[in-house]
Amino acid sequence: MAAATPHSPPPQQLSSPFLEYIRAPGGLDKVVLRGRRSCSVEIRLFGGQVTSWKNDHGEELLFVSSKAIKPPKPFRGGIPICFPQGNLEQHGFARNRLWAIDDNPPPLPVNPAIKAFVDLILKPSEDDLKMWPHSFEFRLRIALGAGGDLSLTSRIRNTNTDGRPFSYTFAYHTYFSVSDISEVRVEGLETMDYLDNMKGKERFTEQGDAIVFESEVDKVYLAAPSKVAIIDHDMRRTFVVTKEGLPDAVVWNPWDKKAKAMQDFGDSEYKHMLCVEPAAVEKPITLKPGEEWKGRLGLSAVPSSYCSGQLDPLKVLHG
Ligand SMILES: O=P(O)(O)OC[C@H]1O[C@H](O)[C@H](O)[C@@H](O)[C@@H]1O
């Protein structure tokens, strides 16, 4: 069966106790995944974008700006999908398109304990093909695990019929909600090489300590480990970010000056967010016709192993 068009009714399998399809005008239809107690995930069809992830106490774990703008502008917060980047609009057009429910996705091995998931699909429109002349199928599975963990699996296939390969860069532009950015540490990126977007993408090596935030940061960590931890002292919460198929990790906080310059971002909101974005940036991914690429993001929020001023990075990173 072909993928549903954006305006067709939601398929039958969406009527499950773990899923709700909510209609809203202006491309704002969304799917809500429900887990144990108050765990939930909200996904907007516009952008195929996760806009909310709540833990079992119903606390929001992702940052969304109070000034976020409605479609057709990209939405500031949650997890925008950045694809296909290159000489296109910033971060590509996928975050700016209406995705459809994929009612017959090719099989994807899943943990049978995961009941709450949804499959979305994006194919290029005629206009998209004028801008980026490649035919593709982008399948996105968003799943809420039994313990409240969230995973996004992207499968991108080259469906060009003229034999041409294509290349792209990619990012899960994840906006985490934090209590106070100056109390946050990121562990797992110590001693990594990075490109500094604020210094013309010059390459540097990170020092040996966990990363803390005192000013604007916009860095692409290269060949970053598959697990990175964001430790929020005040919340005593640690986000564990895992990634597969995505070598790099972008870390971004706009800080005060850039915050003021952004129309869709509150002046002080930089204090309450941090982007850590599993990505493939340095080396574009190339797919020949018929080839498929897979990239996975896993997120969990666990209590910090914070004890009398000492954090134990080994415990956080290796369980
Ligand atoms: O404003 P946007 O297009 O959403 O981009 C917001 C930010 O995203 C990334 O993290 C980039 O590294 C930054 O350079 C950019 O400013």
- Model confidence at 318: pLDDT above 70: no
Question: Which pLDDT band holds residue 3 (cuts at 50, 70, 90)?
Answer: very low
- Checking ipTM against 0.85, whether it exceeds it is yes
Ligand 1 and 90: CB distance under 6 A: yes
pLDDT value for 156:
98
Residues 6+ apart with CB under 8 A from 169: 82, 83, 84, 85, 86, 279, 280, 281, 284, 285
Q: Does 243 reside within a domain? A: yes
Binding residues for substrate: 76, 90, 95
Residues 6+ apart with CB under 8 A from 308: none
- What's the rounded Cα separation, in Å, for the pair 310 and 59? 26
Buried b (16+ CB within 10 A) or exposed e, 138-155: bbbbbbbbeebbbbbbbb
pLDDT value for 14:
65
Which domain covers residue 84, as residue numbers?
12-314
Binding residues: 76, 90, 95
How far apart are the CA of 137 and the centre of ligand 1, in A? 25
Taking the CA of residue 275 as reference, the ligand 1 atom at the shortest distance is 10
> How high is the mean pLDDT of the chain?
91
pLDDT value for 219:
98
The alpha-carbon radius of gyration of the chain (Å, integer) is 19
- What's the rounded Cα separation, in Å, for the pair 269 and 132? 34
Ligand 1 and 179: CB distance under 6 A: no
Range ranked top by mean pLDDT from 97-106, 213-222, 306-315: 213-222
Ligand 1 and 184: CB distance under 6 A: no
- Model confidence at 178: pLDDT above 70: yes
Q: Does 242 reside within a domain? A: yes
Mean pLDDT throughout 295-305? 93
Q: Does 319 reside within a domain? A: no
**pTM attached to this predicted model:** 0.92
pLDDT value for 155:
98
pLDDT value for 175:
98
pLDDT value for 13:
54
- What's the rounded Cα separation, in Å, for the pair 186 and 180? 13
pLDDT value for 87:
67
Number of domains the chain is built from: 1
Q: Does 219 reside within a domain? A: yes
Q: Does 5 reside within a domain? A: no
Q: Does 163 reside within a domain? A: yes
- What's the rounded Cα separation, in Å, for the pair 69 and 286? 33
Active site residues: 173, 277
Question: Which pLDDT band holds residue 234 (cuts at 50, 70, 90)?
Answer: very high
CATH code, 250: 2.70.98.10
pLDDT value for 5:
46
Ligand 1 and 218: CB distance under 6 A: yes
* SS3 state at 239: strand
Residues 6+ apart with CB under 8 A from 25: none
Q: Could you report the per-residue pLDDT of 80-129, keeping only the tens digit for each?
A: 999 997 667 789 999 999 999 999 899 998 788 888 999 999 999 999 99
pLDDT value for 210:
94
Q: Could you report the per-residue pLDDT of 57-76, keeping only the tens digit for each?
A: 999 999 999 999 988 888 99
Taking the CA of residue 252 as reference, the ligand 1 atom at the shortest distance is 10
Q: Does 305 reside within a domain? A: yes
Tell me, letter by letter, the H, E, C secondary structure of 175-205.
EEECCCHHHEEEECCCCCEEEEHHHCCEEEE
Enter the tokens of residue 319.
Answer: 């369980």
Taking the CA of residue 91 as reference, the ligand 1 atom at the shortest distance is 3
Taking the CA of residue 80 as reference, the ligand 1 atom at the shortest distance is 4
Q: Does 66 reside within a domain? A: yes
Residue owning the nearest CA to atom 10 of ligand 1: 252
- Model confidence at 316: pLDDT above 60: no
Residue owning the nearest CA to atom 4 of ligand 1: 76
Q: Which of 49, 95, 197, 270 to mutate to test the pocket of ligand 1 (most atoms within 8 A of CB)?
A: 197
Burial of 27 (0-12, 13-18, 19+ CB in 10 A): middle
How far apart are the CA of 305 and the centre of ligand 1, in A? 31
First-residue to last-residue Cα distance in the chain: 42
How far apart are the CA of 256 and the centre of ligand 1, in A? 15
Mean pLDDT throughout 274-280? 98
